[in-house]
Amino acid sequence: MSKRIEVKDLNVYYSKFLAVEDVSLTIEPRSVTAFIGPSGCGKSTFIRTLNRMHEVIPGARVEGEVLVDGDNLYGPGVDPVLVRRNIGMVFQRPNPFPTMSIRENVLAGVTLNNRRMPKSTADDLVEKSLQGANLWKEVKDRLDKPGSSLSGGQQQRLCIARAIAVEPDVLLMDEPCSALDPISTLAIEDLIEELKNEYTIVIVTHNMQQASRVSDRTAFFNIAGTGKPGKLIEYDDTNTIFTQPSVQATEDYVSGRFG
Amino acid sequence: MAQTETAPLQRSGPASGSGQGSKPGTGSGAMPNVYASGRLGKSVPWIVLGASLLVSIAIFALVQVASGGGFNVAGAVVLTGVLNGVAIYLTALLVEGGRQAKDRLVTTLVSSAFIIALAPLVSLFITVLSRGTARFDVQLFTESMRNVVGEGGGALHAIVGTLIMTGIAALISVPIGLLTSIYLVEYGRGALARAITFFVDVMTGIPSIVAGLFAYALFAIFFGPGIRLGIAGAVALSVLMIPVVVRSSEEMLRLVPNELREAAFALGVPKWLTILKVVLPTSIAGITTGVMLAIARVIGETAPLLVAAGFTANMNYNPFDGRMQSLPVFVYSSYVSQGTDAQAYLDRAWAAALTLILIVMALNLIARLVARAFSPKLGR
């Protein structure tokens, strides 16, 4: 299920603009890795390169290697669709499909790919995924209601259920709690703690308490200034990053003495 | 400025029961609400309007008596509007202050503009309805004009022709237009997309008679000069319809949030399936409305059909053989070549015009229903 990600000398460009420069890091399976750093430093850009979602943005391209259990995502002949089937993603804003019910949203990964599945299997998958996302108890009596009828926090957990229903190896989360209230945030942090047992999780967050609460390892990104590329400054165990970082910029950032 | 702000507050004490129309909001008897005092009552604008109407009727009645002519309805209505605007502005200025007076004046102006815009539409509908009902009978829908001179006859051949030709035009235009807009929104980058957008814009501006000549010239290549076919009319209509469909569905596809596409991509759904199963269902309501409006736009075209499909008095169900009549052309030819019994031809023309309007209204109604049935549901 869960896989190791190795990133080697990765540069990300938007057309000619170098957005992220020379990132190398290794993400262990069954762990939570947090990316922190100021806005615009390339965290979101970088996390999107881990499942080739950056290609949706016109002009974005990548140099370097991303190895998932040894397979290069940027090797010749790699199908980005297959990559994304194995590396799921949850976005900043909850984005359930408005035309679909809660149940259809969970099954979207199956039905949108034109795969058929007996009703009993589908029912089991819906229940398992929603329970995995801590949402089953709240919605089990209204699975046929539209997904957009849920609250923001529930919608985000629905999106997580939808992502884990396709049983990916890796789950990428791009600021999954930034649009949510503290209680929904807590629900999702608990969920990340549970999901860690089965998936490799990478999470981008602006909330340093969140990074220190949920992650095993933390990567700090920074930029030298506007128009300069974002860089990986320090990558270490979360405890080390938050207590005795080796780089001054990291210490300034995590202690709030930035700039 | 200071006066306008303090005036209501000063007035609030003694004026609470003095017929200003300002009722104390909740607690009757106790302190009146200072934010609700000094306002004109809800009925005041209507009273002012009624008074303006009475005054202007009186003035024009006097004019009528003095000059001995007919009563000038249009003049009375215009004078009512002017008087009402002036009166409500002055009333509000005296009671409520400058800001509210401007608000009331602009409200009056906007309402008047709405009525002026609506007047031609209502007038047109009433005219068509009153003159069209004379021959709006069963015969109109069951007979053609074959061997009819003078009274009798019907527009069935024109109704059938309009439905066939518009239907074929829609069958040609909707797939081409929809696929073009999908290309422009989802795939198109660079010079080709810009060129397509440019030519679609150019096509939007083609005069309809040119579209008719184009279709005629196209079919004349294969069938020789003088050819007139239903299918040629349909091709002419689709030339006019394609740019409208492209434009409207392009707008609708662009309204689909990118997050939904990303959500589907992140689930490992290929791009074509994302478009087919996420983007199109999300925007289907708007696309349907756009297609229906495009149909309504071309169903009343006369010139291209006159050139490409010709006119005839006979039934013709086959768009690939012979001339085909349509409702607008039927109206036109009945009107220009009135026979021995002119009134019969005019009655038929009005009845056909009424039929055309009803068909367009029915299409719009269907579009609304379809849009409501397909649109994303937000029920809780």
The pLDDT profile of chain A, 259 residues, written as one tens digit per residue, is 578 899 999 999 998 889 898 899 999 999 999 999 888 888 889 999 998 998 888 888 899 999 998 889 998 888 989 899 899 999 988 999 988 899 999 999 888 888 888 999 999 999 999 988 888 988 989 999 888 889 888 999 899 899 989 888 899 999 888 877 888 888 889 889 888 888 899 999 988 889 999 999 999 999 888 888 889 999 999 999 999 888 888 888 888 876 5
Q: What is the rounded distance in angstroms from the CA atom of residue B52 to the CA atom of residue B84? A: 5
Cβ within 8 Å of residue A251, ≥6 positions away: A245, A257
CATH for A5-96+171-255, among 3.40.50.300, 3.90.1170.50, 3.10.580.10, 2.60.200.20?
3.40.50.300
Count contacts between A and B (CB, < 8 Å). 89
Cβ within 8 Å of residue B233, ≥6 positions away: B165, B212, B215, B304, B305, B308, B309, B319, B324, B326
Q: How far apart are the first and last CA of chain B?
A: 48
Mean pLDDT of B179-186: 95
Rg of chain B's alpha carbons, rounded to an integer? 30
Mean pLDDT of B123-137: 91
CATH dotted code for B140-374: 1.10.3720.10
Q: Which of B256, B260, B269, B282 to mutate to test the interface with A (most CBs of A within 10 A)?
A: B269
Q: What is the pLDDT of residue B3?
A: 44
Q: Which of A95, A114, A129 to mutate to test the interface with B (most CBs of B within 10 A)?
A: A95
- Interface subset of A 36-55, CB within 8 angstroms of B: 51, 53
Q: Is B190 on the interface with A (CB under 8 A)?
A: no
Of all residues in chain A, the one with the smallest CA distance to B278 is: A97
CA-based nearest distance A112→chain B, Å: 6
Contact B266 A85 (CB under 8 A): no
Q: Which of B265, B280, B288 to mutate to test the interface with A (most CBs of A within 10 A)?
A: B265
Mean pLDDT of B193-215: 93
Top-confidence residue, B126 or A185? B126
CA-based nearest distance A88→chain B, Å: 6
Contact B270 A81 (CB under 8 A): yes
Q: Is B150 on the interface with A (CB under 8 A)?
A: no
Structure tokens at B174: 């909707």
Q: Which residues does chain A have within 8 Å of residue B268's beta carbon, measured at their own beta carbons? A: 81-86, 109, 113, 166
Among A91, A111, A166, the residue with its CB nearest the CB of B268 is A166
3-state helix, strand, coil in chain A (%, to 5): 35, 25, 35
Q: What is the pLDDT of residue B30?
A: 65
Among A81, A93, A99, the residue with its CB nearest the CB of B281 is A99
Contact B273 A113 (CB under 8 A): yes
Q: What is the pLDDT of residue A215?
A: 92
Contact A199, A2 (CB under 8 A): yes
Q: What is the pLDDT of residue B297?
A: 87
Q: What is the rounded distance in angstroms from the CA atom of residue A205 to the CA atom of residue A93? A: 13
Residue B273: burial class (beta carbons within 10 Å; 0-12, 13-18, 19+):
middle
Q: Which residues does chain B have within 8 Å of residue A89's beta carbon, measured at their own beta carbons? A: 262, 266
Domain ranges for chain B = 44-132, 140-374
Of all residues in chain A, the one with the smallest CA distance to B187 is: A58
Q: What is the rounded distance in angstroms from the CA atom of residue A2 to the CA atom of residue A7? A: 16
Phi, psi angle pair for B335, to nearest 5°:
-75, -45
Structure tokens at B57: 């009727």
Residue B214 three-state SS: helix
The amino acid at B72: N
Contact B236, B207 (CB under 8 A): no
Lowest-pLDDT range of B101-105, B143-147, B322-326: B143-147
Contact B223, B320 (CB under 8 A): no
Lowest-pLDDT range of B68-72, B201-205, B255-259: B68-72
pLDDT band at B376 (very low <50, low <70, confident <90, very high): low
Helix axes B342-374, B327-336, angle to 10 degrees: 160
Q: Is A88 on the interface with B (CB under 8 A)?
A: yes
Lowest-pLDDT range of A38-47, B33-42, B318-327: B33-42
Contact A88 B266 (CB under 8 A): yes
pLDDT band at B7 (very low <50, low <70, confident <90, very high): very low
pLDDT band at B5 (very low <50, low <70, confident <90, very high): very low
Give pLDDT tens digits for B54-74: 999 999 888 888 887 778 888
Phi, psi angle pair for A96, to nearest 5°:
-65, 150
Of all residues in chain B, the one with the smallest CA distance to A83 is: B268
Q: What is the rounded distance in angstroms from the CA atom of residue A111 to the CA atom of residue B271? A: 14
**Which one-letter DSSP state was computed for residue A146?**
B
Contact A93 B270 (CB under 8 A): no
Q: What is the rounded distance in angstroms from the CA atom of residue B42 to the CA atom of residue B49? A: 13
Q: Which residues does chain B have within 8 Å of residue A93's beta carbon, measured at their own beta carbons? A: 259
- Interface subset of A 96-155, CB within 8 angstroms of B: 96-99, 108-109, 111-114, 145-146, 148-149
Of all residues in chain B, the one with the smallest CA distance to A52 is: B266
CA dihedral over B176, B180, B183, B185, signed as positive or negative: negative
Give pLDDT tens digits for B88-107: 999 888 888 888 889 999 99
CA-based nearest distance B173→chain A, Å: 26
Q: Which of A44, A81, A173, A174 to mutate to test the interface with B (most CBs of B within 10 A)?
A: A81
Q: Which residues does chain B have within 8 Å of residue A60's beta carbon, measured at their own beta carbons? A: none
Contact A227, A221 (CB under 8 A): no
Q: What is the pLDDT of residue A1?
A: 58
Q: What is the pLDDT of residue A225?
A: 81
Structure tokens at A108: 């979207």
CA distances to A148, B157, B221, B309, B323 from B226, in Å: 59, 21, 11, 10, 11
Q: Which of B141, B156, B140, B152 is nearest to B344 (CA)?
A: B152
**Which one-letter DSSP state was computed for residue B16?**
G
Long-range contacts from A19-24, C-beta under 8 angstroms, 24+ separation? A19/A45, A19/A229, A19/A230, A20/A45, A20/A46, A20/A49, A20/A221, A20/A229, A20/A230, A20/A231, A21/A229, A21/A230, A21/A231, A22/A231, A22/A232, A23/A64, A23/A231, A23/A232, A24/A232
Of all residues in chain A, the one with the smallest CA distance to B271 is: A81
